[in-house]
Structure 1
Amino acid sequence: MTQHVVGVDFGTLSGRAVVVRVADGAELGTAVHEYAHGAVERTLPATGEALPLHWALQMPDDWIDVLRHAVPAAVAAAGVDPGSVIGIATDFTACTFLPTLADGTPLCAVLPEQMHAYPKLWKHHAAQGQADRINELAALRGESWLTRYGGKLSSEWQLAKGLQVLEEAPEVYARAERFVEAADWIVWQLAGVETRNACTAGYKGVLQDGSYPSKAYLEALHPAFGDWVSKVDGPLAPLGGRAGSLTEQAAGWTGLPAGIAVAVGNVDAHVTAPAAKAVEPGQLVAIMGTSTCHVMSGASLADVPGMCGVVRDGIIPGLWGFEAGQSAVGDIFAWFVETLLSGGLSHEELTQRAAAQKPGQHGLVALDWHNGNRSVLVDHGLSGVIVGQTLATRPEDVYRALVEATAFGTRTIIAVLESSGVPVTEFIAAGGLLKNRFLMQVYADVLRRPISVIGSEQGPALGSAMHAAVAAGAYPDIRAAADAMGKVERQAYVPDDAAADVYDRLFAEYSALHDYFGRGTNDVLHRLRALREEVAR
């Protein structure tokens, strides 16, 4: 019988499942299930209470519904016998983090009226104050792990979110027996076994060289924070490993055979790298969607300012995995179209008009910080900037400037990697923004390098399916699975030299603004944010 695997990708607003043939990676069927609650950013569903600024939550039941609906629908679309499926694997946004009881019951099921009991989505940025103190104290004490995160730990990561719970809702913190990445929680529901995957533990949980931050450091942050490690520590499992077997309950949800392999959890961006055949040092994969995550492997450890994390075995076993990111990319374009234009021009119309322009024609330059800056400044208190507008500025001018700004942000990340001794030998793009050919050409011109593209519209789900094949024993490791199942089109876009020359000049202006507003020369963006929050209270 032909063997198949299922990959499930849990995103910001929906989950998608794909059924993949083990022999060659052919994607036979896919299905998407929209979360009933989406990203919870305005009010708490259970009470209608307004959420504070910069909050973003999710609902665990929405994730289970993906298993109930998307997986059976994908198997049906593929037209395969469920009995031919030998494994299932999942990936998740991260850091998406929830408190639970000891048996994995989400605390929001017990305390539905308490907003801190819910999973905090990756783009929950309300813990910036905690992150600032985490970084200041770590720098003061000379904590060795801080350089692995580019000198600043993000407010998106576990420590900041956990400390926020302790300080703002100590009763919730005390009640929480475990804090779990959603990537591990969903595997817990599938296999009935608690595991901690090496990827999220390293990048989001500050597990470096086998240890979490010390109890002395944690208690210096807050006297009651000394038990933090006991709430997050657990059986550490390697990527591609088998977490356990599909339980009878999960088999009922998915329609798959009980007992098949359930792979260890993973992060949506990181799991995409092998799907794009990026398993060697120097191959950078940019997963471009609502935000962009940049992941690549290197042969040796290097300290890179502004990285989200550098973790041994974090992406590919035996290599150092580097992660950087931009907190908003597609979200910026959507904000412009849906909010500022209020039902005016569509994405497609703006793209056509913007593509008709020459680089530099609009006279604008923008900073892509509408959701803060993840790399290389690691500061979610920053906000977007557009310079050069006049009464002659048209919507397509601003749209193009925003597209270019996100490309300049990626160029900044690559420049910091390379100046730190981590060469980027190939740039591979994945994610939903690949459909915009204009955008991809702008990136090639701004980066002044060819862009390869993944050969799948479901890169994370395909990558998860490949890890399922490894967990089920169909391949000895993820490199072998990538060779047989991965898909990539080399140099799908090549830079135009004339356009690249203009973008070199614009990038110099972007860099000047980047440092002026982002490195403390003018702190106006932080002052404006503080004023907004003061007035909102």
Structure 2
Amino acid sequence: MSPNVSANNPADVVIGVDFGTLSGRAVVVRVADGAELASAVHDFEHGVVTETLPGSGVALAPDTALQVPADYRAVLRQAVPKALAASGVPAERVIGIGTDFTASTFLPVTADGTPLCELPEFADRPHAYPKLWKHHAAQPEADDVNAVAEERGESWLARYGGRISAEWEFPKALQVLREDPVVYDRAERFIEAADWIVWQLCGSENRNACVAGYKGIHQDGAWPSREYLAALDPRFTDFVTDKLAHPLSRLGERAGGLTRAAAALTGLPEGTAVAVGNVDAHTTAAAARTVEPGQMLAIMGTSTCHVLNAVEFAEVPGMCGAVRDGIVTGAWGYEAGQSGVGDIFGWFADGFAPSEYVSEAAGLGITVHELLSRKVADQPVGAHGLVALDWHNGNRSVLVDHGLSGVVAGMTLATRPEEIYRALIEATAFGTRTILDAFQNSGVPVDGFTVAGGLKRNDLVLRTYADVLNRPLHVADSDQGPALGAAIHAAVAAGSYPDVPTASEAMGSVTRDAVLPDPARAAGYDDLYAIYTDLHDHFGRGGTEALHRLRRIRDENHTR
């Protein structure tokens, strides 16, 4: 097959579908050059389920974050046909479809892929629903996963910076076993939503190497051993062999073709090539042209995921994983991240902006975020006297501890709301700098830093990050980075390009040196970063257990 079939078929298109935290987005992309012809968004009816189960009203425990699979299908039924119609491209010109998902979003299903929550007898059981990435109620299980692995000297632990996150597969499955063994026993398979959606499209189970490596502790061709699982809980001994293990597919491969039912659902031709599933952040690397070693990509939205390819493996404390072929074939793909970024800004703007600020923003025809940014944009570095810790949704990297919580230090009666808002932005930038320092100090070079995701449109955030990191920021051109990345993988799966790097060069795009640091402000942030590091280590590395004690007191007094 020609290495670039798209050159002979300039009208061919692919569709990328990005399943996010609150919505799904479909984009129609021209194979020849990556031009985005149209897109459509479908909001999840149920969003993130955190308080009570839909329908039954069953109350949920603290730190629970679930979703409803019907919302995922609705994206295929609504967004894909709408995007295609808006593009004006006939359905027969679509040669492939690719998907990406937030991860770890993990669900129990029957042998034919039916989510347990869709069985009437399990509709009122929380553990029968998909657990979203931001489900942090499995932290006790994560603590056990790590403690037992350390005691046994499990070699794979070093590939995850020494700690497995509560967001990943094994803690979540272990929580289901401990808290609802009926659901655990009924589940014939546990599967990432990234692979489940491909199952819905192709009609057969398929598992991708990315999610297995980063979220499922699959390293060097093997899962954690039965002996290790038995040490966690004897009932967990056969979890891998019975409910998880499946041959893994490489990224960019063809998982299969659209079934007749999936074709009817999406409005695409039966048999259209379906790419192997992928994680949103990792697929975005292709869209942003950051698949070469040393190019870090930060996908900044509700949270931030940092991905980076390297030639060699090195142990980096507190990363989310290092996986051979995890982003592109032939390289070590690293992942780190922050559990709360845009969510933190939204939490403050939505819940703590004074009513007069809300009225002022409305009068100016701008958002509260924009008003807060305007009020503080020109303030000298450090003039607010604040340093915050960005742990409002726990810490993913480098501490890997979701029992931590946010801190704002330095407030006085003179502190203004916009100053707290700015301190929170700075805190997330300091968190990213901490991650970069961990990579650099471990011998993994970070030669470039590229930003993608919704926050790339926020000028204050980008200027703050450039100054805090004291390095130029490259910015991915596409506003639909994950969906474009999924489409690029679809083009490879359809045979238009020989591999993901080649397709990325043709279809991805980035503006280099889009934001440059200011030397004077960067020097000022060095002083604040030193204070951030002091607080980070005091509250997060054993100087005090105050934040963990507060979390325990809260949970003990929560009405269950």
After TM superposition, the score normalised by the length of structure 1 is 0.99
> Is 2:6 aligned against 1:3?
no
> Is 2:307 aligned against 1:295?
yes
Name the counterpart of 1:131. Answer: 142
Gaps of 5+ in 2: 1-8, 359-367
> Is 2:430 aligned against 1:408?
yes
Counterpart CA distance in 2 for 1:78 and 1:354 is 41
The percent of aligned pairs where both chains have the same amino acid is 64
> Is 2:234 aligned against 1:223?
yes
CA apart distance, 1:88: 0.1
CA apart distance, 1:341: 2.2
> Is 2:154 aligned against 1:143?
yes
Q: Which amino acid aligns with 1:246?
A: L
Q: Which amino acid aligns with 1:14?
A: S
Aligned match for 1:113, one of 116, 124, 132: 124
Counterpart CA distance in 1 for 2:439 and 2:163 is 16
Counterpart CA distance in 2 for 1:149 and 1:47 is 38
- Which has the higher mean CA deviation after the structures are superposed, 44-53 or 55-64? 44-53
Aligned match for 1:52, one of 34, 49, 61: 61
CA apart distance, 1:279: 1.4
User: How many positions carry a matched residue from both structures?
Assistant: 537
Counterpart CA distance in 2 for 1:258 and 1:359 is 58
CA apart distance, 1:436: 0.6
Q: Which amino acid aligns with 2:422?
A: R
- Secondary structure of 1:55 counterpart: coil
Counterpart CA distance in 1 for 2:189 and 2:73 is 19
Name the counterpart of 2:365. Answer: none
Name the counterpart of 1:364. Answer: 386
Name the counterpart of 1:307. Answer: 319
> Is 2:329 aligned against 1:322?
no
**Mapping for residues 52-451 of structure 1, pairs under 5 Å:** 52-110=61-119, 111-230=122-241, 231-341=243-353, 344-345=357-358, 346-451=368-473
Gaps of 5+ in 1: none
**Mapping for residues 2-41 of structure 1, pairs under 5 Å:** 2-41=11-50
Q: Which amino acid aligns with 2:221?
A: G
Q: Per-residue displacement from partner, 1:99-146 (whole Å, max 9, x unpaired)? A: 000000001111101110000000000000000011011000000000
Name the counterpart of 2:536. Answer: 514
Counterpart CA distance in 2 for 1:341 and 1:355 is 17
CA apart distance, 1:235: 2.2
Name the counterpart of 2:361. Answer: none
Q: Per-residue displacement from partner, 1:398-446 (whole Å, max 9, x unpaired)? A: 0000000000000000000000010100000000001111110100000
- Secondary structure of 2:512 counterpart: strand
Counterpart CA distance in 2 for 1:136 and 1:208 is 19
Q: Per-residue displacement from partner, 1:257-305 (whole Å, max 9, x unpaired)? A: 1111000000000000011011111000000000000000000011100
- Secondary structure of 2:334 counterpart: strand
Counterpart CA distance in 2 for 1:281 and 1:158 is 27
Asked if the contact 1:279–1:316 (Cα under 8 Å) also holds between the matched residues in 2, the reply is yes
Counterpart CA distance in 1 for 2:291 and 2:125 is 43
Counterpart CA distance in 2 for 1:306 and 1:32 is 34
Q: Which amino acid aligns with 2:64?
A: W
Name the counterpart of 1:476. Answer: 498
Q: Which amino acid aligns with 2:72?
A: W
Asked if the contact 1:194–1:235 (Cα under 8 Å) also holds between the matched residues in 2, the reply is no
Counterpart CA distance in 1 for 2:87 and 2:217 is 40
- Secondary structure of 2:557 counterpart: helix
Q: Which amino acid aligns with 1:97?
A: F
- Secondary structure of 1:266 counterpart: coil
After TM superposition, the score normalised by the length of structure 2 is 0.95
Counterpart CA distance in 2 for 1:20 and 1:82 is 13
Counterpart CA distance in 2 for 1:340 and 1:530 is 25
> Is 2:517 aligned against 1:495?
yes
- Secondary structure of 2:548 counterpart: helix
CA apart distance, 1:536: 1.0
- Secondary structure of 1:305 counterpart: coil
Counterpart CA distance in 1 for 2:535 and 2:36 is 44
Q: Which amino acid aligns with 1:201?
A: A
Counterpart CA distance in 2 for 1:339 and 1:533 is 22
Q: Per-residue displacement from partner, 1:190-225 (whole Å, max 9, x unpaired)? A: 011111100000000000001100000101100110
Q: Per-residue displacement from partner, 1:465-522 (whole Å, max 9, x unpaired)? A: 0000000000000011011001100010010000000000000000000000000111
Asked if the contact 1:47–1:113 (Cα under 8 Å) also holds between the matched residues in 2, the reply is yes
- Secondary structure of 2:237 counterpart: helix
- Secondary structure of 2:308 counterpart: strand
Counterpart CA distance in 2 for 1:35 and 1:409 is 30
Counterpart CA distance in 1 for 2:86 and 2:374 is 34
CA apart distance, 1:342: 6.2
Name the counterpart of 1:452. Answer: 474
